[in-house]
Structure 1
């Protein structure tokens, strides 16, 4: 298989590139040159947002294109139109955020989606930008377009900082504010499992939308954080003590779910939207998700290799609760006990 990876040097794109190379595929990476591509890939340079920025793609043919773009849809439109006659399929890594909010628990791929335009040059609304990207891929490739609607993505190379924040916080030890309930089910996908599924689907010529996260309850908040404790124990500054706290107390303390406490959402509409998707279509098409312990251990090993400092996308805000706020909330909790 000949793969054209648009991006391919960070997180999901890098996972796809490395997986394809490991399968013996011929991989071409098209990127701006800000980060090194994985060894073994052919590199083409260009900035798809600049005039003439796609010139490097004007020649060549590929079996599949994978595009992780999350900016203005017009960039997907231009790339997809340019490649429509020279690529067999176009895999666009989208998001479950394209569904109109709130998305009910158990929503499948036929759920209602936001209004968007494939010609938009606006990227301020993430859901509309991704839906516009989907429409651009569909306009150029039709049923040869695969729309991978991912949810929460974790694993090595994560450049948003959600799992890295929990790992580094727990490695510092001491009392840790743990958001409950402890048995709260979580849905996410390891970037490497996403990559494996995408490549298999591209090789098989699948098209249309697929929800791509783990089955509901693949892990729980308790299992995730307790796995972080065990994984970091040998390198921790002190023993970590998970202090489980009810959603009501966390919200009353003006702590923001998802950002101050990454991954976690209290039960409710937003939780149902992000952690309760129907993924039966993807599972039937071969989706397999590795155990949470493997994702945590490999992310920690990668993080330690970087000296504990994870990279962060400049277009995403920093995540994580400040030590001062955590100490304050835990102190109040101890007084009430």
Structure 2
């Protein structure tokens, strides 16, 4: 399949390009040429989709599939879709579960209401940008538009730094503040599984919205952090702490302690999304151990979390060491929680 990736150097776009190259597909990327390298054999077109006539480099090309990872102004999605309407067979827009209007009931599927956003809107907040981008793609491509509502995305190349923060913190060793409960279910998608599913469905001509994320409880906080200890070879000691004292101390789930969202929190639905539709359409999610180990190997190779391509620098995630130390000092449980050892990392995928 002839693939055009709008972007192609960031976290998700890079994974899509790598998967398409693995399949020996002809791949073109379109971006400003300011971030990242283009793999050998990939054709690069330069342009700024936010500038007047910024899509000129796309003129004359023809592709079977387009994958668009844009998270800025929806009108940029609309402009690109219009430019490609008669020269591309299918348009896959990588959206987000953030498009759902609050409150979102646990287990909600693709039928849940979406925030109101215009397809020609200027840059706004993340949920509005993604919802407007969806509307723009559908307005132009109709049922030839695949809406990939990704959840928490982890894996090699992560440019927000959630799993990398845990890996680097655990690698430092010592007592590590581990937010409980140990068996708290975690729902996420490995970026490589997201890329493979997106290309499979787009190549098959599938349209419409899909929650592309693992089943709830694909892993747990206990398994994830114990696997990180094993992967890094650290002497870290996981100090499991109940959610209540952490929340009372002002610890913010998802940001201060990445990935963690305790039961009862207003954003718990981020870890409890309905995914039957995506699994029925062939979604396969690799074991958590593979994601953790591969992310650690990548992180050791690159040294630090890369900046997100095309977007302003974000505030770092994760607790400041001094604050973590203060929280650990304030929480001295009489008994430790025993955590089973992580599964042995493997290469096989499991649903």
User: In 2, distance between residues paired with 1:20 and 1:162?
Assistant: 26
Deviations 1:60-103 (A, max 9, x none): 11000000000110100100011011100000000011111121
Q: How many residues align?
A: 331
Partner of 1:137: 137
User: In 2, distance between residues paired with 1:14 and 1:232?
Assistant: 25
Alignment of 1:1-337 (within 5 A): 1-34=1-34, 35-123=36-124, 125-233=125-233, 236=234, 239-307=235-303, 309-313=304-308, 314-334=312-332
User: In 2, distance between residues paired with 1:104 and 1:295?
Assistant: 28
Deviations 1:164-184 (A, max 9, x none): 000000000000000011100
Deviation at 1:17, TM superposition (A): 0.3
SS of structure 1 residue aligned to 2:206: coil
Deviation at 1:269, TM superposition (A): 4.7
For the aligned residues, what is the CA RMSD? 1.2
Which stretch of the first structure deviates more once superposed, 204-213 or 31-40?
31-40
User: In 1, distance between residues paired with 2:114 and 2:316?
Assistant: 28
- TM-score, length basis structure 1: 0.96
User: In 2, distance between residues paired with 1:63 and 1:198?
Assistant: 14
Contact kept? 1:179, 1:264, Cα under 8 Å: yes
SS of structure 2 residue aligned to 1:270: coil
User: In 1, distance between residues paired with 2:167 and 2:333?
Assistant: 27
Contact kept? 2:149, 2:209, Cα under 8 Å: yes
More helix by share: 1
SS of structure 1 residue aligned to 2:266: helix
- TM-score, length basis structure 2: 0.92
Deviations 1:131-152 (A, max 9, x none): 0000000011000000000010
User: In 2, distance between residues paired with 1:270 and 1:41?
Assistant: 43
Task: Extract structure 1 runs of 4+ deviating beyond 4 A.
Answer: none
Contact kept? 1:27, 1:41, Cα under 8 Å: yes
User: In 1, distance between residues paired with 2:90 and 2:161?
Assistant: 31
Contact kept? 1:161, 1:312, Cα under 8 Å: no
